[in-house]
Amino acid sequence: MGPVPDPAVSALLDAATTVRLRPVFEGNNISYAIGFKHINYVAEAAVLNHFRLAGLPVGELYRRYGLGLEIVELRSRLGALLAVDDEVEAEVTPATKADAGELTFQVGLFVLRDGQRVKCAGSTVRVLLRIDGHITASEEYPAGLARFAVERLGTGDRRELAVTPRPYGGFTEGRGVTGTSDPVLAQLVGEDNAFGWRWRMPYFYCHFNERVQMSGFLRVMEEAEDLFLADRGLAIKEVLDGRGWIPVVTQSRIRLLDETVMEEELYTVYTIEDIFKSLLYTARMDCYVIRGGALVHTATGTITHGYLTEHAPNQWSMATLDEATIEALSSPKGART
């Protein structure tokens, strides 16, 4: 039997917590609904509050122990609509196994609808504590915390770089490079039903002086989807104006496989995996950097999309994908709307 954990670590591992949160106004892009990225942000905020209530807030973990809190996996299933004015009751339940080296939490997001408690989303959140080289810890770790502290976040798979990278255009290159005109993107996309995007990671997607954080990859996922749809002739504004359709997310997952460093060039490949019953399509996102002359796989994830149709002002229902849309999703040379 090991040493008795510090009370703060015991609270982190054993005590469920509840907090009331509101989504950020930035996430209200269509009608009065909140989008998937900001629903995930609410789950993240609930986990950060759980650490705070246990007595191990993020800032103190960093300042006292030299540990950067890293969400390394965020998996969410989205159900009922989350509205811009909703107050969310977020329940965090610890789910870390006794021998696990990652902290795991189940997060449920609930709102009141006509007096009924409705679950908007459920998430699984996995956390590691990254030992930071920028500072020196001033205190010993609380008992039981060391097993979650790591020198590095994963070691992503390395694959041969079979082409010569094209020099990046610098900070003025805007939203980066898309398509297979870039030789590295051409290698990664190959013959798959996929879309490639290369972009330098900005500091405002990062934290702890160095690394792209989970929220940054949520933004990359959303941006890759936006660029992909435009490339396939399904630009969101055009489809919204022409058909009253808007993409809706039912599930999302992102896992960090390695570290992506501030201002590294991220090669993102967005691959359509499945189109289900003319209602939903699933895409996989894979992110790479070039390091030491090889491609390093730093993140992966999946997202399931459908379309909502506005059949009356502020009234939405699932749309059935027509043949032109399915063809556009199915092939880089598909039909254009």
Topology at the third CATH level for domain 1-151: Thiol Ester Dehydrase; Chain A (3.10.129)
From the number of C-beta atoms within 10 Å of its C-beta (0-12, 13-18, 19+), residue 142 rates as buried
Closest CA to 70 of 204, 208, 202: 208
What band does 167 get if pLDDT is binned at 50, 70 and 90? confident
Give the distance from CA 89 to its chain's centroid: 21
CB atoms within 10 A of CB 6: 17
Q: What is the mean pLDDT of the chain?
A: 93
**Fold matches, 1-151 and 152-337:** yes
Contact 257, 156 (CB under 8 A): yes
Pick the CATH number of 152-337 from 3.10.129.10, 3.40.50.300, 3.30.70.100, 3.40.640.10: 3.10.129.10
CA gap 165, 186 in Å, rounded: 11
What is the structure's pLDDT at 283?
98
Q: Predicted confidence band at 313 (pLDDT cuts at 50, 70, 90)?
A: confident
Report pLDDT for 171.
56
Half-sphere exposure for 226 (CA within 13 Å, toward CB): 8
Helices (H), 55-104: 58-65
Q: How would residue 111 be classed by pLDDT, with cut points 50, 70 and 90?
A: very high
As a whole-number percent, the residues of the chain with pLDDT over 70 amount to 96
* Bridge partners, 253 (sequence order): 75, 302
% residues pLDDT > 90 (the chain): 83
Domain ranges within the chain, ordered by starting residue: 1-151, 152-337
pLDDT in the model for residue 1: 53
Q: What's residue 222's pLDDT?
A: 97
pLDDT in tens, 254-281: 999 999 999 999 999 999 999 998 999 9
> Strands 158-160, 177-178: parallel, antiparallel or unpaired by DSSP?
unpaired
- Answer yes or no: are the C-beta atoms of 308 and 245 closer than 8 Å: yes
Tell me the two tokens of residue 281: 């399509």
Residue 332 has pLDDT above 90, yes or no: no
